[in-house]
Structure 1
């Protein structure tokens, strides 16, 4: 198979003039559809069919189409135009996929998990800390189709940044795939840093005396870090494949950039693994602390039960209403009994207090 040259290069360009802006019908699920030639976006609005025709007519450039949560019927026309594999299309529509990289003949299908840190006042009272979404990318020789799931996974800002640097887009659609992966991994770094601050707060609360944190909050933190882990760890293999020349659709010039992204992902993976281990330790410490608190409460309950048992026993004896009982007809009998009860209770109280049961 001949090597694929960087798309968007000058070789093979035609002298065809840039067309005047046109108006093309665009579905609501299509966020943007653009044609890039020599790293620059052609003016006008294109439908997916017009964009493909423009690139094929010029024999240069590539198409970048961005979709947001399309259903099977909405993506069908684009799939037929670009020759997308039906299994990959099904995955792109249904979402809830693990990060992966699949190759279908002359097309790559990549899934990336996006994450967003949810701001909150304190991790000890938050109900959710990490929100996830997905970005699917179909990469071909002269196109890239991105499918987003989740409101926080927008690519508009990335598109604007890349359009401001034509030398990046001049490389071809593989550069766009790198930009997406780099943006996603950078978000992992930002989320992990924020998560580290939350773990510091949780750690301080766990080992603080009489802290209000309980097992439920610790399990919430554990669940959130596992969700972050499911987004980060499986992405290592796809990035390594792209960096090692898994497909000629990714030129050598872009592979070195994927190696850099892979290095950043390794940093995040190590950080997430340490978070997981630390949270496991904190969960164990929290459960041990709860057990100690329960044992202390049981000692207090037992001590008060013993103190209350003294007047209960005496009152129970004198409540039998017998005629012949000690001190029933003595003037100082009642004060004496009350004094004995109070004295016995005070003695028990001092004993329990000395033994730190109260």
Structure 2
């Protein structure tokens, strides 16, 4: 749907007696060099976007990308327009998740068309703030591109701040005295950092080009504004790299703690097995002696000896005592 449409002259919104959908008339009103049109769309249908493309002569390939969404951040130059793709991010604290959307920006000599997908980074606030800064808005369509980029990158900073809080919580849990397992949460956070990285890193090259005035169709006096955006984008990239490194260290510490716990369990099991084996040996030897002398054969040695029974008892006790002392000395008991 078409969210808003307006004509700007010398950085000031011009009130027009036309509906928000009357794009042809709005386009016809823009006939001076210091004027431009800004059309804002949110998840338009194919028919709506084709209608806008026909009025502003947008390139079919860029229109297809804007309709399908799920594009990689990029900046492309076509004969009559520039096409910029931005990934929008917002953070869901309940699930430690980073959700993504997309904004596509078409800019020409006298028009800007923004196509937004998803709930993140609404542009109405950016439009109102830009309308209060006539000096910036007087730069034309490039000012709108700057405002959109600045709005999106500011959200990146907020997301990075939320992720930093989560990483601090993971570190505190991993290095606490309590035995906790943060492996799953570490994996989730690293996956979300990868999502942020996919939005941030491809955008750095287009912003650096805009910051140096290397983008055709963007005036050089707009470059300082894009340098500010590029600086913020660099801060986000550095923060994400740092957080990813901290999570890797926390994961290694968590793995070492788990390995240590398993080693302790294994050592305790070995200790228990030694005690069980020693106890079994103490029972086995007397049982063996009793079993042999209880077979009741007539021609067994010492079978009718008067001291045979006391001797068997003493033998059992002596061997058992010997084994007990050896096991005790070796630490098995």
What is the TM-score normalised by the length of structure 1?
0.76
Which of 90, 98, 105 is the equivalent residue of 1:116?
A: 90
Contact 1:30 1:66 in 2 (8 A): yes
Structure 1 segment 29-40 matched on structure 2, within 5 A? 29-38=1-10, 39-40=12-13
Alpha-carbon distance in structure 2 between the residues aligned to 1:247 and 1:104: 11
1:159 matched to 2:127: yes
Alpha-carbon distance in structure 2 between the residues aligned to 1:106 and 1:41: 24
1:72 matched to 2:46: yes
Segments of 5+ residues of structure 2 without an aligned counterpart are 296-308
1:202 matched to 2:174: no
Contact 1:40 1:166 in 2 (8 A): no
Contact 1:68 1:147 in 2 (8 A): yes
Which of 178, 188, 200 is the equivalent residue of 1:232?
A: 200
Alpha-carbon distance in structure 1 between the residues aligned to 2:51 and 2:262: 63
1:89 matched to 2:66: no
Give the aligned partner of residue 6 of structure 1.
Answer: none
Segments of 5+ residues of structure 1 without an aligned counterpart are 1-28, 121-126, 354-358
Q: Structure 1 pair 130/325, CA: closer, same or farther in 2 (3 Å)? A: farther
Give the aligned partner of residue 185 of structure 1.
Answer: 153
Deviations 1:150-201 (A, max 9, x none): 1122111111222233333222111111001111111122222222222122
Question: Which of the pair is proportionally richer in helix?
Answer: 2
Contact 2:85 2:102 in 1 (8 A): yes
> How far has the Cα of 1:135 moved from its partner?
0.9
Contact 1:72 1:90 in 2 (8 A): no
> How far has the Cα of 1:309 moved from its partner?
4.1
Alpha-carbon distance in structure 2 between the residues aligned to 1:79 and 1:204: 53
Moved more, 101-110 or 42-51: 42-51
Q: Structure 1 pair 352/263, CA: closer, same or farther in 2 (3 Å)? A: farther
Alpha-carbon distance in structure 2 between the residues aligned to 1:194 and 1:37: 40
Which of 5, 10, 30 is the equivalent residue of 1:55?
A: 30
Contact 2:6 2:13 in 1 (8 A): no
Contact 2:190 2:244 in 1 (8 A): yes
Give the aligned partner of residue 233 of structure 2.
Answer: 265
Deviations 1:188-246 (A, max 9, x none): 22222222222122112222233313322211111111111111111111011112223
Aligned Cα root-mean-square deviation (Å): 3.2
Moved more, 291-300 or 206-215: 206-215
Structure 1 segment 1-358 matched on structure 2, within 5 A? 29-38=1-10, 39-43=12-16, 44-47=18-21, 48-56=23-31, 60-120=34-94, 127-310=95-278, 351=331
**Number of matched residues?**
308
What is the TM-score normalised by the length of structure 2?
0.81
